[in-house]
Amino acid sequence: MSGGVDYSGLLAAHVGGAALRRLVCYAGLLERWSERHNLVCFSSREELVERHILDSLAAAPLLEGSGRLLDIGSGAGLPGVPLLAVRPLWSGVLLEPRQKRWAFLRTAVRELQLAADVACSRYQDLGDCLPFDVITIRAVGDHKALLGWARGRLAADGEVVIWTTVDGVAALEAVAGWRVLSSRLSGLDCGRLARLQPCFT
């Protein structure tokens, strides 16, 4: 997918400086690797930026100060890589059980110089690690089981952030023990960003 609008032009209205350079590098890596390994589906550079990278950055305002992020089922690094690229005070773990995607994530973390570890594992098999301030989930199913697992891995005041739909939010609201806040994802009529916080009453 050579030629066309360059990534810098597509991203410059949203980020600048070192974050822009990291995201441009990441988009280029995604494009090159996807030609061989089908990491993520997109028909144009505009679609890659808008549907995947900017969609991932919808959660960036939630990452204040510094903290630790866990991206479950990271795949091609969405949303974990864009979030860590624009929040350099944050560190994280990108969790991905598939070998080719794990290899891509290791390359992305190295080239973007992110403060992240890449674990080739399912979330159920992840060993002991420090609590996380934010756990992100995008394009991973079985949210009820995942939320049960995530509850004990959150730091105080931590939250789970899920990219979902209107119907998905309704299903999340039916899971006991969580307070659910949601907002619309731009560009997607039914897309919602759901924030889940454990409650104990």
d(CA 170, CA 156): 25
The one-character DSSP state at 181 is E
138 labelled ligand-binding: yes
Q: Residues near 13 by Cβ (< 8 Å), separated by ≥ 6?
A: none
179 labelled ligand-binding: no
CA distances (Å), 98 to each of 10, 128, 164, in order? 30, 21, 22
d(CA 12, CA 168): 32
- Per the CB < 8 A criterion, the answer to whether 193 and 55 are in contact is no
Which residues are annotated as part of the binding site? 73, 78, 138
Which residues are annotated as part of the binding site for S-adenosyl-L-methionine? 73, 78, 138
